[in-house]
A and B are shown apart, each in its own frame.
Chain A
Amino acid sequence: MGSTSEFGRRDLIKRAAAIGLIAVPSMSVLSACASGGDSGDSNQVDKGEKSATNPLAINEGAPLDVVIFDGGFGQQYAKDAEAEYGKAFPGSKVSHSATQKIQSTLQPRFNGGTPPDLIDNSGAEQMDMGTLVGKKQLTDLNALLDAPSVDDPKKKVRDTLRPGVVEMGQFDGRETWILYYAYTVYGVWYSKTNLRKLDAQYPETWDEMLAVCEKAKKKGIAGWTYAGKHPYYLPFSLYPFIAKIGGREVLDKIDNLEPNAWKDPAVKSAFEAYYELYKKGYILKGTPGLTHIESQTAWNEGKALFLPNGSWVENESKKTTPKDFQMAVGAPSSLDKSDKMPFGTIWASGGEPFIVPKNAKNPRGGMELLRIMLSKKSSQNFIKQVSSLTSLNGGTEGLSLPPGLASSQEALTKAGQNVVNPRIQDWYVALQKEKIGVAAIGELMAGRATPDEAIAKIQRFADDTAKDASVKKYRHK
């Protein structure tokens, strides 16, 4: 060390470092994907020859570019379907890539006007569907839905899908922007084995639920656990519970962001019932600090009986699930006799949203691959590989299903028409996940907010979203 020059050179460097180090990365990240390119669709490949084997008239020699979300379901099922595509159109070259970072990988490509031909837009880094639709970045999939299905050329693809799947992919008009490939059953997950050990059955009423929990508590087992750090898993059983108590309209009003939608008595009854689980000490100690994986593991270890989750849990928790666990899903228990919907009412909806970008070079090819994926062969391949249902109605004949999936199938059969599908989950992601989920329901179940406080908070969040001009709004028709 010695004297410094009169320049204040060191000051200058320090100052530059201080400003540069933080500001530059955070800002240039954003600007790096600055806009460029035009939105014209002039760069599309030519149409091919329409035939019985090529109903979408794809260009048989054009390359196909596919990006798959590499999450709970992996990517093998997509690779297998791509191989089928390659077999059907030997002249084409399919390039496949898989990532967990859908948005950061694809955002620059969307901005530059060169998106891939088919995307599985899923996972924590999902691109916001509302924005994509609002900015006209997607291809209408009605052409695919009206094409004949692979298995039965007399049937349209549209008619082979499970009820509600097409509607989920629509936003305002009649265009279908998204095709949900997987079919998820949400609810209260449990182990038949662990319930049998307690001499209990899945509780069909809330009183039974409390009784089972009490029984478990005496043996040092918790009734419930949930993904405490991601409390937006709680709605998987809580929302259908609300619909069961007060009818579908309550959820529709919530989805429509109607004023005072959350002040409905059904919401309050449901919240109070869940809050009782906390007050009576039926929730596994430490649950608010657990991730989804940690809560699933604790549940697998028999530390808790019930877990609100979706049907992907069977595949996701495969490594920690004991062999004789006999995983099953239950519909929300009845609160009392005045419930508007019968026991069995459950939340089921499409998962793994597939999209074909508007500026894709080969959008027909993207749709054709989807058509192949919706064939019985590819669909069964998916079911076998990842033990989840697909949007193809049926298709499980002749397969021996793992216990969780078999019970999902049973639950769907039992529910019949009483399947609910709260759209708040895909329409208003930020509101559903962090505001309602983390900041309200999470606090409620951790015992840090009363039902009334939680409801007031949620209503405020919902009102804020309704007022927020930067969020595109949707309504049930």
Chain B
Amino acid sequence: MQHGKYRFIAGFLALPLAIYGVFVISPFVQAIYYSFTDWTGLSPDFEMVGFQNYQRLWDDEVFWKSVGHNVLLLLVLPLVTLGLGLFFAFMLNVGGRRRKNAAIAGVRGSSVYKVVYFFPQVLSIAIVALLFQFAYNPNSGALNSFLQAIGLDSVQPDWLGDPQLALWCVMAVMIWCNVGFYVVLFSAGMSSIPKDFYEAALLDGANRVQTFFRITLPLLWDTVQTGWVYMGIMALDAFAVIQIMTVGPGGPDYSTEVLAYYLYTKAFRDGQAGYATTLGVALLIVTMIFAGIVMKLGRRERLEY
């Protein structure tokens, strides 16, 4: 029986593998191939140019700037978003005071909060970005109006128009619209942690902080790790928000340029599709490095319950 197993599996896998090969692998290979050409994207003819595109990439100031921004996004976004998500989820599920018979419960009105948190997730990212673009408007936007209303007339930043602030403004929006999703995700994870763990901890006199770090977080680690990967993907992309909010393009003085947007301008504005695919390959490499690091760092013993 055993020797036929692999043939049996392969038989079932043939079709999906073929589809995967055609629609996933072949574009990769093609893109890598194009990165060695001077293809413009506007005409079907091109020539092989060897490593010229890669050399250019190496000397390209804007490329390194956008890599830097992507790395910053990669560090800040998951940390803040997941941190907030965990905190809120904990408060909603186990953070409340003990009442009635339940040993653990969320804060009052937690079900309402959950809906409120999740709301931004329902909105299209285009709408969110547009809304915030208005809020950031230095003349009539909500933020500066608010600052004015509380008497801070002298503090009227240009927000998206200021290279020091623009990227942080974009990050704030990305965090704002993603936290809700993680609140719900982590809530689901937390609700599957057996209640007796918490009861035992409470009997032992653990406070909220201890419960969180000793019980909730370790048992939730898998979910957190998955969340980290997904958030990392958002951070490596960030295309839509940048495209809509910082119409510079790429913000004042390239301050919000990211790889995905740079790739787009090269391919679809400057007629340099060959170079754009090179950027795509670079993006692929950055992604793989990221995935590799997360997997390595995140590996720890699984708890069974």
Contacts and interface: CB of A to CB of B under 8 A. Distances in A.
Interface of A: 1-4, 10-11, 14-15, 17-24, 26-39, 103-104, 107, 110-113, 124-128, 130-132, 134-137, 228-230, 284-291, 294, 298, 303, 429-430, 433-434, 438-439, 442-443, 446, 448, 470
Contact of B291 (A18, A230, A434): A18
Interface string B284-303: 10011011001100000010
B156 A285 contact: yes
A127 B284 contact: no
B40 A288 contact: no
B247 A289 contact: no
Contact of B139 (A18, A19, A286): A286
A27 B284 contact: yes
A39 B161 contact: no
B53 to A, nearest CB: 9
A1 B305 contact: yes
Contacts of A111: 41-44
Contact of B302 (A3, A15, A289, A303): A3
Interface residues of B, number: 76
A430 B160 contact: no
Nearest to A34: B30
B126 to A, nearest CB: 14
Given A27-B28, A135-B43, A470-B275, 7 more contacts: A18-B233, A18-B287, A22-B283, A26-B260, A37-B44, A289-B137, A303-B139
A30 B40 CA distance: 11
Contact of B31 (A15, A27, A112): A27
Contact of A24 (B24, B45, B46, B265): B24
Contacts of A131: 40, 42-43, 270-272
B248 interface: yes
A126 B144 CA distance: 35
Contact of B161 (A18, A124, A228): A228
Given A14-B226, A131-B40, A289-B137, A229 B46 contact: no
Given A1-B305, A442-B253, A289 B43 contact: no
Given A23-B283, A111-B44, A290-B139, A30 B229 contact: no
A15 B292 CA distance: 8
B305 to A, nearest CB: 7
Interface string B14-50: 0000000001101110110010001111111110000
Main secondary structure of the interface of A (DSSP, over half): helix
Residue among B28, B44, B226, B232 having the largest count of chain A Cβ atoms under 10 Å: B44
Contact of B138 (A39, A134, A289, A303): A289
B209 to A, nearest CB: 24
A111 B39 CA distance: 10
Interface of B: 23-24, 26-28, 30-31, 34, 38-46, 56, 133, 136-139, 144, 156, 158-163, 192, 222, 225-226, 229-230, 232-233, 236-237, 246-254, 260, 263, 265, 267-273, 275-277, 280-281, 283-284, 287-288, 290-291, 294-295, 302, 304-305
Contacts of A429: 269-270
A107 B270 CA distance: 12
A102 B138 CA distance: 32
Nearest to B281: A27
A434 B250 contact: yes
16 contacts: A14-B226, A23-B283, A27-B277, A30-B276, A31-B34, A112-B44, A127-B271, A128-B271, A137-B43, A289-B160, A290-B138, A294-B137, A430-B269, A434-B265, A438-B252, A439-B254
Contacts of A124: 269
Contact of A103 (B144, B192, B269): B269
B24 A20 contact: yes
Contacts of B249: 433-434, 438
Given A23-B284, A137-B42, A30 B267 contact: yes
A284 B263 CA distance: 34
What 8 A-B pairs are tightest by C-beta distance, nearest first? A286-B138, A289-B161, A288-B161, A131-B271, A128-B271, A28-B27, A135-B43, A35-B44
B269 A18 contact: no
B280 A110 contact: no
Contact of B270 (A34, A430, A439): A430
Contact of A28 (B31, B56, B139, B253): B31
B236 A30 contact: no
A226 to B, nearest CB: 11
Contacts of B287: 18-19, 22-23
A409 B260 CA distance: 43
Contacts of A439: 252-254
Contact of A125 (B38, B138, B269, B273): B269
B273 A30 contact: yes
B200 to A, nearest CB: 19
Nearest to B139: A286
B48 to A, nearest CB: 13
A130 B40 CA distance: 11
A103 B267 CA distance: 10
B162 A288 contact: yes
Contact of A107 (B23, B41, B192, B284): B41
A182 B244 CA distance: 28
A128 B269 contact: yes
B237 A22 contact: yes
Contact of B283 (A3, A26, A112): A26
Contacts of A286: 137-139, 144, 156, 158, 161
B131 to A, nearest CB: 14
A31 B31 contact: yes
A31 B288 contact: no
Given A289-B138, A434-B248, A132 B31 contact: no
Contact of A289 (B162, B267, B269): B162
A14 B231 CA distance: 12
Contacts of A134: 40
A229 B291 contact: no
Nearest to B29: A31
Nearest to A113: B44
A432 to B, nearest CB: 12
